[in-house]
Amino acid sequence: MLSRRDVLKFAGVAAVALPIATIACTGDESGTTGVLLRSRARLPEPFAIPLPMPPVLKPTRQDTATDYYEIAQRPGKVEILPGLETEIWGYNGIFPGPTIQARSGRRVVVRHRNELPVPTVVHLHGGKTPPADDGYPVDLLLPVGGWTAEHGGHTVSGQLSDGERQYVYPLDQPAATLWYHDHRMDFTGPQVYRGLAGFLLIHDDEEDALPLPRGNRDIPLMLCDRAFAEDGSLLYPSVDPTLRRTPGVSENFMQGVMGDVILVNGAPWPVLEVTNTRYRFRLLNASNARRYRLALDPARRDGPPFIQVGSDVGLLDRPVGHQQIEIAPAERFDVVVDFSSYPMGTRVTMTNQLGSGATGSVMRFHVAREARDDSTVPSRLIESEKLRQSAAVATRTFRFARGAHGPSGRPGTVWTINDQPFDSERVDAQPRLGTAEVWRLTTNVPHPVHLHLAHFQVLSRGQMGPGPYDGGWKDTIDMRGGETAEIIARFTGFRGRYVFHCHNLEHEDMAMMGNLEVV
Ligand code: C2O
Ligand code: CU
């Protein structure tokens, strides 16, 4: 376990790296907190590279109740920028990792083998997973070649696995867009940035019965931003680029790391040829720190361009139309876009209204062919339960802020929850299995707040009800700076210890994480 002494040591490292000057530089009006890292490589013309589709992983074996998979985590060489080679760390050596297609109620067992030079941890984000398989940050999967801890006492104190281990996912939960990604204690930011992220899509009968676009018109889109060195390698401001010893990023990037290249499914500003029909896009923001406000240009004249049908962890009961989609790190929006109202040949750009220059665009759709369309978006999708405030048995308050009273005694040295940096030995909430609780969250600067295990609904933002992007069951809430929001979370599934944290990965690595123990 991470001892108090290690927390002090960790905080001490961070303190050295943080000049007072950057503390004043908090989030801007775009609702993102982060600092732009500029590429030194030649960047491609946008909308020239075809949108890649992550391959669907084949099970190695199946029985009546379970699909078995194997994944090797290893370095891979890929061409992200034309003509340059980028080394990534990927699930099966690719970025994004392979997509796992799962069925609600059917178990998925993934055997991971760590062929990387550092420990890893796999978390299925949005999954209702037993604690031992949830990817608790110190439950390290050590490299096959062996590992000597050089950093902190905690590297030898979680549930360690040597080289290989399996993760068991019951997936007793409805159809939804989940993703799996690295969750190593103190090093999640750089390890996800290097490529350790992939989709896991859960399907169920209710979803199958809906006439939504399907097959090759149901497309997962993983959005993230990166920066590249001259030779095409990924740029990231790690204090220790070997990721072996000192965690954290250099002083200027405590707010979060934003790249100047927008990737969709691993390709910079790609283009997708579409037919003049409806498409279902499963949008995932897999960026470390960047928020997006997505729009289509030209916009449709005859209705909202995005019809949202699903949120983080399931379908909505009714579709919701949006002119734009605001999406914070780790959030998912399942949307239908209808290209039938665009004249044949139209090039429709998905823009990012929170970006500027190159980061102001994301990808392009080229309406290139005619096709028949049997899909529709029905006005009722599924029956889903609405949780009322009165159902809660407890209310807890969590304040997400800079460490004003960090353990080192210096102001602003780490990111904290209720003034405390993460300590794996301290339990911050003990909800009872099967109950619902109201969590009142407050922030200084923007923080996307994520709970493991528990799915929740947003009850209010300040004096207002839920915002336009808060609909449905969520696992991450996009908190703006200086805001208070109330969520109602239901703690079902399993007893045991899980984390909740800010999903700005630099904040998470800088200790903005707590323990919830379901009892
Ligand atoms: Cu997507 Cu605790 O993480
Ligand atoms: Cu944060």
Q: Would you say the CB of residue 125 lies under 6 angstroms from ligand 1?
A: yes
pLDDT tens-digit map of 423-481: 999 999 999 999 999 999 999 999 999 999 999 999 999 999 999 999 999 999 999 99
Backbone torsions φ then ψ of 205, nearest 5 degrees: -65, -40
Backbone torsions φ then ψ of 4, nearest 5 degrees: -55, -40
Class of the domain covering 215-369? mainly beta
> Contact, 167 vs 131, CB < 8 A?
no
Q: What is the pLDDT of residue 148?
A: 84
Q: What is the pLDDT of residue 7?
A: 39
Tally of helices (H runs) and strands (E runs) in the chain: 4, 35
For residues 10 and 277, the model is more confident at 277
Distance 355 CA to ligand 1 centre (A): 24
> Contact, 228 vs 213, CB < 8 A?
no
Burial 393-405 (b: 16+ CB within 10 A, else e): eeebebebbbbee
Q: Is the pLDDT of residue 24 over 50?
A: no
Distance 453 CA to ligand 1 centre (A): 10
Q: Give the C-alpha separation, 433 to 431, whole Å.
A: 7
Q: Is the pLDDT of residue 220 over 50?
A: yes
The CA-atom distances, in angstroms, between 227 and each of 126, 277, 286, 361, 426 are 27, 34, 15, 15, 36
Q: What is the pLDDT of residue 48?
A: 97
Residues 203-220: what's their mean pLDDT? 98
Q: Give the C-alpha separation, 94 to 75, whole Å.
A: 8
Give 218's pLDDT tier (boundaries 50, 70, 90): very high
Residues 490-507: what's their mean pLDDT? 98
Give 301's pLDDT tier (boundaries 50, 70, 90): confident
Q: What is the pLDDT of residue 60?
A: 98
Q: Would you say the CB of residue 480 lies under 6 angstroms from ligand 1?
A: no
Q: What is the mean pLDDT of the chain?
A: 92
Q: Give the C-alpha separation, 367 to 236, whole Å.
A: 36
Q: Is the pLDDT of residue 86 over 90?
A: yes
Q: What is the pLDDT of residue 158?
A: 87
Please report, for the chain, the start and end positions of each structural domain, with discontinuous segments joined by +. 215-369
Q: Would you say the CB of residue 123 lies under 6 angstroms from ligand 1?
A: yes
Q: Output the CA angle 423-446-263, nearest 5 degrees.
A: 100
Q: What is the pLDDT of residue 32?
A: 77
Give 31's pLDDT tier (boundaries 50, 70, 90): confident
Q: Give the C-alpha separation, 224 to 34, whole Å.
A: 14
Q: Give the C-alpha separation, 498 to 441, whole Å.
A: 18
Q: What is the pLDDT of residue 152?
A: 53
Q: Is the pLDDT of residue 151 over 70?
A: no
User: Strands, DSSP E only, in 17-136?
Assistant: 35-37, 61-62, 66-78, 86-91, 100-103, 107-114, 122-125
> Contact, 436 vs 490, CB < 8 A?
yes
pLDDT tens-digit map of 329-354: 999 999 999 999 999 999 999 999 99
Q: Give the C-alpha separation, 114 to 145, whole Å.
A: 9
Q: End-to-end alpha-carbon separation of the chain, Å?
A: 20
Q: Would you call the peptide bond into 54 cis, given omega within 30 degrees of 0 as the criterion? A: no
- For a pLDDT cut of 90, what percent of the chain falls above it? 87
> Contact, 309 vs 290, CB < 8 A?
no
Q: Would you say the CB of residue 290 lies under 6 angstroms from ligand 1?
A: no
Distance 275 CA to ligand 2 centre (A): 40
Residues 71-91: what's their mean pLDDT? 98
Q: Is the pLDDT of residue 30 over 90?
A: no
Q: Is the pLDDT of residue 23 over 50?
A: no
Least confident window among 229-238, 247-256, 435-444: 247-256
> Contact, 390 vs 376, CB < 8 A?
no
> Contact, 273 vs 348, CB < 8 A?
no
Q: Output the CA angle 402-406-410, nearest 5 degrees.
A: 95
Q: Give the C-alpha separation, 215 to 237, whole Å.
A: 40
Q: Is the pLDDT of residue 222 over 70?
A: yes
pLDDT tens-digit map of 274-287: 999 999 999 999 99
Burial 362-389 (b: 16+ CB within 10 A, else e): bbbbebbeeeebebebeeebbebeebee
The closest residue, in CA terms, to atom 3 on ligand 1 is 125
Q: What is the pLDDT of residue 2?
A: 38
Distance 404 CA to ligand 2 centre (A): 15
